[in-house]
Structure 1
């Protein structure tokens, strides 16, 4: 396992009455793609700006390779930030945009040319070196912004909502491109996003933030399958959440019955929430809950079915492969196995 490159320890930051960061601690490993994920106002951008040197915490420490990063002025940090807007110089060619930072450092012209040529190849921009930004597509402009950031060979590259300006198809292509580029150049990437799919597809590990606090840090699969609390379960992907009282045989829900799940001995008798993913729920279960199909939404490869069950305040969601075997208004059963549901305590 790679050693931590960055250590953030008990970092807090206030803006007036608003606590943007509240005792945040996490580690970012050398060479990993790390995502800061959360809703607007959760503190992720403030944390990114602290790493870049545009903000300073009220308390706590940040180290890079064991050295105090907060003591280093922004322009001297081995850290680069790719802005959400790309911020390309419109009057400069692609090659000049990329070389600008190296020229400011007064590197030898031969070295600049060599590094720019290498990064043009890596980013798939070789034939576009003489073009201006207005002659490029959104995906190409994003590649130029990335190339400009990595040509300086930072230890840490910070990306603030890097794909938000792209349409859905180009965004999907650039997610693959971004991952390939990160592996090829070997730089540690930290991406800020509120897009769960983006974080899940790009990152080696994800820190989920809410109200300035870290709720969970994990790889995408365990984060999805084993959320640490109710907020993460609700925020990451679609989930069926049902509240009741934990008992030895499952979750007792008034007016509904006993829902199958594993119940730890310590939770028996307490109020709890059952979480089961839509793809884990089965339609047509004779021994499950009886319901009526309230909605059928076809997405191409999958269909999302909403089943209204008497006693529940919202329909249960079911994801099936291909077209749905049920129609609107049809009566059906829904169910799941004990191992497919998680029991979460109240936040």
Structure 2
């Protein structure tokens, strides 16, 4: 039997309020050594407050934060073996790339030779060896992001916290840096905890993701588990695109409002009573009109390169029912079609 991964960071029942607003409402998490972990959720869900509490810039009203079993909250920010990479990168414009990266090491009064060696090593790791003498203004957005990352990891923290690290980059560079961050995390062997509101970003980089809403953890799981088996309606809506139907579930059969029993497959849920059936667009197939589980009319088609999205108007369902097909689609606007699926998930309405 495989042993569970060694926990590095433990967050236990952490609370933090600002006046009447509960930013963190009993948050508990365990993050493993060398894990790439994402805190994901909409603005105001508490993810940045949690990151700042780990870094030492916020002090929780209650709870505990342990790093390797040691009480992290007892240490001031500058004595925690933790580094926080800010969203703005916060580079010194008058310093060269090498001097920006070396800044924290010089503050620690390390020997000049050791500083030079560590800076050279980390610039090679992030692919900036030939730009050591440039100023930040001479770099692209992606290159400045690499400098900020190099400065964060050159001090060899046990834990690196990243607050929306890619939000300032354009779409193409952001996609490239997502892959780069994952590669670097494996290469340097440091636990990364990244805060993001972008579910695609979290899904592409993280080993596990904690989805937060209203200061509480809704689910912690791998990207695939979150997508295929969301814990509730909030997670299902926040992670990816979904079709959903309201109804009731008795533990065996889902009965949709206005449609009656619909196929839901084997479920991993204890939900009974009011519930929603969640069907992902790629799990839906178009069939001839009159042969589907549901029937509707094609209202729109969109070609996105590798896939096509077909929108179907189903009487009795307010939002269009979406279908994802590989390549181009043969569906034609205005035609009657049937919809069938084999995989669906029953979820409850309430937040945890």
Q: The TM-score by the shorter chain falls in which range?
A: over 0.9
Residue 327 of structure 1 aligns to a residue whose secondary structure is: coil
CA distance in structure 1 between the partners assigned to 2:292 and 2:179 by the alignment: 43
Cα distance change of structure 1 residues 293 and 86 upon mapping to structure 2, 3 Å threshold: same
Tell me, yes or no, if the aligned pair for 1:307 and 1:315 is still in contact at 8 Å. Answer: yes
Offset from partner CA, 1:58-87 (integer Å, 9 cap, x none): 000001111110000001110001000111
Tell me, yes or no, if the aligned pair for 2:209 and 2:221 is still in contact at 8 Å. Answer: yes
Match of 2:279 among 240, 253, 276: 276
Tell me how large the CA RMSD over aligned residues is: 1.7
Cα distance change of structure 1 residues 271 and 87 upon mapping to structure 2, 3 Å threshold: same
Cα distance change of structure 1 residues 222 and 94 upon mapping to structure 2, 3 Å threshold: same
Cα distance change of structure 1 residues 6 and 268 upon mapping to structure 2, 3 Å threshold: closer
**Gaps (5+ residues) in structure 2?**
none
Match of 2:321 among 316, 321, 338: 316
CA distance in structure 2 between the partners assigned to 1:51 and 1:114 by the alignment: 30
Between the two proteins, the alignment pairs up a number of residues equal to 345
Shift in Å, 1:160: 0.2
Which residue does the alignment assign to 1:305?
310
Tell me, yes or no, if the aligned pair for 2:269 and 2:346 is still in contact at 8 Å. Answer: no
**Gaps (5+ residues) in structure 1?**
none
Cα distance change of structure 1 residues 290 and 96 upon mapping to structure 2, 3 Å threshold: same
Match of 1:188 among 191, 195, 206: 191
CA distance in structure 2 between the partners assigned to 1:265 and 1:34 by the alignment: 24
When normalised by structure 1's length, the TM-score is 0.96
Residue 322 of structure 2 aligns to a residue whose secondary structure is: strand
Tell me, yes or no, if the aligned pair for 1:249 and 1:258 is still in contact at 8 Å. Answer: no
Cα distance change of structure 1 residues 265 and 7 upon mapping to structure 2, 3 Å threshold: closer
Structure 2 counterparts to residues 182-331 of structure 1, below 5 A? 182-246=185-249, 250-262=253-265, 270-284=273-287, 286-331=291-336
**Runs of 4 or more consecutive aligned structure 1 residues displaced over 4 Å after TM superposition:** 263-269
CA distance in structure 2 between the partners assigned to 1:124 and 1:150 by the alignment: 14
Match of 1:76 among 76, 79, 98: 79
CA distance in structure 1 between the partners assigned to 2:65 and 2:14 by the alignment: 8
Match of 2:165 among 154, 162, 166: 162
Tell me, yes or no, if the aligned pair for 2:91 and 2:100 is still in contact at 8 Å. Answer: yes
